[in-house]
Structure 1
Amino acid sequence: MVRNVRIEAVDAVPRPLIAMGHDYPDGHALPAHWHRRGQLISGATGVLVLATPQGTWVMPPQCGLWIPPGVVHEVRMIGAVTTQSLFLDPDLAGGMPGHCEVVGLSPFVRSLIAKAMDVPVEYDPDSHAGALMALLRHEMRQLPVQPLSLPFPANGALAALCRRFLLKPTVHATIEDWSGPLGVSRRAFTRLFRQETGLSFVEWRQQACLVTALPRLVAGEPVTTVALDLGYDNPAAFTTMFKRVLGASPRAYLKRSG
C-alpha cells in the first residue's frame, strides 16, 4: 500500500494508473499546486474543499472529485480526511471531464478503489492487479457528475463579488445588489453573469448556499442554524432546496454519505 507519498516521487513509473492514500487532520490545507497526471480523489470521512481560479468544489464523504492534469488547485480539509487517489496518465485522460467535477461513486466503484489501494506502484499490467486498474480506468469514464461545483467568472470585478458573497452567503441577495456596484443594468448583468459562469444568478446563488452549507452540516452544525444563517425563513424551506438538488434531506444525505 502506498500511503502519504507525494505523487511526484512515483510519477515517472510507466503505469497508466497509480493508486495511493493520504491521511490529513482536520483543518489541514494544501497550498496551490498541480499534478502532471489527472487525479480522482475520494474519502470515506470528512469534507474536502477544492478551489481553483475557475471555481470551488465541495466533496462530501463517499463522493469523488476529478482534477484534470495540470490544473492548479488548493485543498482544505474539514474534519479528519483519509483520501484514496487514482492518478491517471494525461495521455489517457481524454475520456474524462475537461474541468474539475464532483462525481458519484457507486459501492462497486468504491470497492474497486479500496482494492486498488493495495496495488503496488509497479504492478504487472498482465496480472490481476493490472486487470483491476484497467477496469477502474473504464469505470472512471462513467462516473455521474454531482451538483456540488461553484463556477467562478473570469471577469475580475464580478469574481470579487462572488468571493465576497461566499464569506456571508444569503438567499436574499438580488441582482440589483450586484449590478449596482458593477455599474451595469439588470439586463446587462444577467447576460454577463450567465456568459461568465454558465448559470443564472439565482442558480449560482443557490449553489453557493449549498456548497457553503454542506461542510457545516458534515461538521455537525444543526440544520436550523445553517438554514437561518443563509436567510431561509425556516429549516423546512432549506430542506426542500437541499432535497431538490441532492435527492435527499440533509439528515438522510449525511447518513447515506457517512
Structure 2
Amino acid sequence: MRNIPSDDVDHLDRVVLPIGTDYAAGQVLDWHEHRRAQFLYGATGVMVVETADGTWTVPPERAVLIPAATPHRVRMLGVSTRSLYVEPGAVPWWPARCTVVDVPPLLRELLLAAVEFPSDYDLSGREGAVATLLLHEIAARSPLPFHVAVPASAGLATLCREYLAAPDAAVTNADWAARSALSERAFTRRFRAETGESPAVWRSRARLLAAVPLLRTATVTEVSGRLGYASPAAFTAAFTRAFGTPPSRFARTTAARPSPAQRVTVHF
C-alpha cells in the first residue's frame, strides 16, 4: 500500500499493515499517535522523531520503533518511508520507548516487497509469510544510540528543546544554571537526576545529533565548523565515538548548494 493514511486501513484483520509514503522536504507530521506499534523506516533522507521524553534522529536507511499509543511528532527531511503498523498484542517484545535500529539488506528487501501488497493481502501465501518474517527480523534488531533524553520538568525540557533547535558550542552549565535560578552544582545534580547525563555530555550528544541532517547537504568539514568543533578530525572522532560510525558515512563528498533556509537553520 502506498500513500494511504494508516487510519483508513487500521480496521483490517491483518497483524502487519505495510504502507509506503513519500513526504515533501521538511514536512512535519505534528503530534499524533497510532493504536498500533509502528516500524518507521526511512528509505531516503533523515527523520527526527520527538516524544515527551526524548528526541530520536534517524539517519538514512535506519528505522525507529515507535510504541503503540505514543504521542510523537516527526520532521521529514527528504524522506520516503516504508512503515509497518503492527497489532500491539502480536509484539510483546516491542520497546517501551522509541528505539532507532539498523536495517540490514534482508529486512530492507522485505519492506520494499511488503509495501506493494494489497491492503487485504493473502495471509496463507507468500505475502503472509513475508509479514511473519518481517516481525522475526525486527525482533532481532539491536538499538542504535541516535537519541537524547528530554527532562520531565518543564524548565529543563525548555532548555533542552531550545538547544536541539539551535545547538551552540558556547553554551555552558553556568548559562543554564543562571536561567534556572539555581547554583551550577544544584542545576547539574538536578539535570543528571532527570536525564542520567551531565548537562555538558547531553549538549555534546545533541550537537552530534544535529550533524546528521546537516550532513545531507554539507561536507564533514563544513558541518564540523558549523557546530563549533576545532577541526574536522575532532568532529569525526567525537561522532564516531558516540555513534559507532564516521560522519562521512552520511555526508555528501561534495556539498550541494542548499537553499538560504537550509544554510541557517537546523530544524528539530
Specify if TM > 0.5: yes
Residue 251 of structure 1 is matched in structure 2 by 248
User: 38-47 or 191-200, which moves further after superposition?
Assistant: 191-200
Residue 106 of structure 1 is matched in structure 2 by 104
| SS of structure 2 residue aligned to 1:71 | coil
| SS of structure 1 residue aligned to 2:76 | strand
- Residue in structure 2 matching 1:242, options 239, 242, 254: 239
Residue 90 of structure 1 is matched in structure 2 by 88
- 1:130 CA displacement: 1.1
Residue 116 of structure 1 is matched in structure 2 by 114
- Residue in structure 2 matching 1:230, options 207, 218, 227: 227
| SS of structure 2 residue aligned to 1:95 | coil
Matches of 1:171 and 1:92, distance apart in 2: 44
Matches of 2:7 and 2:13, distance apart in 1: 13
The 5 Å alignment of 1:29-178 reads 29-79=28-78, 81-178=79-176
Deviations 1:189-234 (A, max 9, x none): 233212212323233112211221110111x123223212222111
| SS of structure 2 residue aligned to 1:99 | coil
Deviations 1:65-97 (A, max 9, x none): 111111111111212x21100111021232011
- 1:253 CA displacement: 4.0
Q: Over aligned residue pairs, what C-alpha RMSD do you find?
A: 1.7
Matches of 2:110 and 2:90, distance apart in 1: 19
Q: Which amino acid aligns with 1:60?
A: P
Matches of 1:206 and 1:173, distance apart in 2: 11
User: 31-40 or 135-144, which moves further after superposition?
Assistant: 135-144
Question: Hey, which bits of structure 1, 4+ residues long, moved more than 4 A?
Answer: none
Q: Is the 8 A contact 2:54 2:149 kept in 1?
A: yes
Matches of 2:224 and 2:251, distance apart in 1: 16
| SS of structure 2 residue aligned to 1:237 | helix
Matches of 1:250 and 1:27, distance apart in 2: 22
User: 57-66 or 200-209, which moves further after superposition?
Assistant: 200-209
> Percent identity of the aligned residues?
41
Structure 2 length normalisation: TM-score? 0.88
| SS of structure 1 residue aligned to 2:31 | strand
Matches of 2:225 and 2:127, distance apart in 1: 50
Residue 201 of structure 1 is matched in structure 2 by 199
| SS of structure 1 residue aligned to 2:81 | strand
Q: Is the 8 A contact 2:205 2:242 kept in 1?
A: no
Residue 187 of structure 1 is matched in structure 2 by 185
Q: 5+ unaligned residues in a row in structure 2: which ranges?
A: 253-268
- 1:121 CA displacement: 2.4
Report how many aligned residue pairs link the two structures.
Answer: 252
| SS of structure 2 residue aligned to 1:46 | strand
Residue 3 of structure 2 is matched in structure 1 by 4
Q: Is the 8 A contact 1:96 1:140 kept in 2?
A: no
Q: Which amino acid aligns with 1:47?
A: V
Matches of 1:134 and 1:252, distance apart in 2: 31
Report 1 or 2 for greater relative contact order, CA contacts < 8 Å, sequence distance ≥ 6.
1
Deviations 1:105-152 (A, max 9, x none): 111111111121122222232222111111111221121111111211
| SS of structure 2 residue aligned to 1:191 | helix
| SS of structure 1 residue aligned to 2:116 | coil
Q: Is the 8 A contact 1:56 1:151 kept in 2?
A: yes
Q: 5+ unaligned residues in a row in structure 1: which ranges?
A: none
Residue 22 of structure 2 is matched in structure 1 by 23
Matches of 1:233 and 1:147, distance apart in 2: 24
